[in-house]
Amino acid sequence: MELRHLRYFITVAEELHFGRSATRLHMAQPPLSQQIRALEDELGARLFLRTSRSVRLTPAGQAYLDEARAVLARVDEAGRQARRIHQGEAGELTVGYMVPVMDAVLCRALAVFRAQRPGVGLRLRELPTGTQLEELRAGRLDLGFIRLVAAAGSGLQGQNLEGLTTRVVAREPYVLAVPEGHRLAGFPCVPLDEVALEPLILFARASMPALHEAVLQALRAGGAEPRIAQEAPGKHASLALVAAGLGVCLVPASAGCWQRQGVVLRPVTPGLPMVEMAAAWRGDQTHPAALALAALAAGQCGPA
């Protein structure tokens, strides 16, 4: 049985006339009659009572009509849904992100995306870059927003991006977070050699080893060996430790949107790697909504 047999049957059931039904279906009457008889033989049930003057549905035919209409309605809806997904207007996206990307560009991109594509469901997962790369390759993420680790002038380091496509969505400098009243709070721009003299709150080396080393090398350029006082899992924890007076930390400039009480942010002199963030997806990604969100995030990026 094919879907066309259901359409033939429904048309005859609505017209109760084989001639008019054939005209409506743009086919000859004899083949239509043959198709209906074949359908009845396959079902093992009479669907129509035929006389020389009339065509009527049998009780079995009436029951079959209700089900046939429901089946075609579901098929039609499945087609519409497939077209909406193909056009990026429906379906579901699982998106990984890091907080710096969310603060810098993704929060604004998501607001535009929701307004433009309300039919797309979003499942957001906060994950470190390394985990996002693994989840992308395993097909458990459709799109990731990651940190690209680059030391000044050296290009990408320490990240395996094989099989993935990336698009930079934001670039911003580091700024220094110090407690209110700290000696460096009065500097309009803090020299890196001054930063190196302070107890430093830094992310764990294991989380981003290349970036960890790039930051320390930049601080060593002034001649002092940086002293790591505390390790923190993220910038929110780092800023809390700064507010508690346990040290200073370097955070992306977009951290200023949080306005942490007891913390002052100051620019620093050049030498640190830029905070570079990117959308990432599998090279075979074809979901238009995923690519649209990546493009929106890139469009939110201001001057570096």
Angle at 229 between CA 104 and CA 191, to 5 degrees: 60
> Helix, strand, or coil here: 88?
coil
- Are residues 151 and 273 in contact, defined by beta-carbon separation less than 8 angstroms? yes
Q: Above 60 in pLDDT, residue 283?
A: yes
DSSP state at residue 139: T
Q: What's the whole-number average pLDDT of the chain?
A: 88
Residue 304's pLDDT band (cuts 50, 70, 90): very low
- Paired tokens of 212: 């960890």
Average pLDDT over residues 166-183: 94
Nearest to 253 by CA among 266, 244, 262, 243: 266
- Cβ neighbours for 69, distance < 8 A, ≥ 6 positions apart: 10
- Alpha helices (runs of H) in the chain, residue ranges in sequence order: 3-15, 18-25, 29-43, 59-86, 99-101, 107-116, 129-137, 192-195, 209-220, 235-243, 288-299
Q: For residue 152, what pLDDT is reported?
A: 40
C-alpha–C-alpha distance, residues 88 and 292, integer Å: 8
What residue type is assigned to position 272 of the chain?
L
* Residues listed for the chain: 304
Q: Which residues pair with 230 in a beta bridge?
A: 201
Residue 301's pLDDT band (cuts 50, 70, 90): low
Tell me the pLDDT tens digit for each residue of 185-205.
Answer: 999 999 999 999 999 999 888
> Helix, strand, or coil here: 278?
strand
C-alpha–C-alpha distance, residues 102 and 111, integer Å: 12
Q: For residue 90, what pLDDT is reported?
A: 65
In percent, the amount of the chain with pLDDT more than 70 equals 93
C-alpha–C-alpha distance, residues 48 and 59, integer Å: 9
pTM: 0.66
The alpha carbon of residue 106 and the mean position of all alpha carbons in its chain are separated, in whole angstroms, by 10
Tell me the pLDDT tens digit for each residue of 39-89.
Answer: 988 889 999 998 888 899 999 998 999 899 999 888 887 777 777 776 667
Q: Are β-strands 91-97 and 120-126 bridged in parallel, bridged antiparallel, or unpaired?
A: parallel
Q: Which residues pair with 255 in a beta bridge?
A: none
- Are residues 238 and 261 in contact, defined by beta-carbon separation less than 8 angstroms? no
Nearest to 6 by CA among 33, 30, 27, 36: 36
DSSP state at residue 123: E
Q: For residue 185, what pLDDT is reported?
A: 95
Q: For residue 259, what pLDDT is reported?
A: 78
> Helix, strand, or coil here: 272?
coil
- Are residues 222 and 277 in contact, defined by beta-carbon separation less than 8 angstroms? no
- Provide the Cα torsion 205, 211, 212, 214; round to 10°: 150
C-alpha–C-alpha distance, residues 128 and 99, integer Å: 9
Q: For residue 151, what pLDDT is reported?
A: 41
Residue 224's pLDDT band (cuts 50, 70, 90): confident
Q: Which domains does the chain have, with CATH numbers?
A: 3-86 (1.10.10.10), 91-171+276-299 (3.40.190.10), 174-273 (3.40.190.10)
- Paired tokens of 243: 């507010």
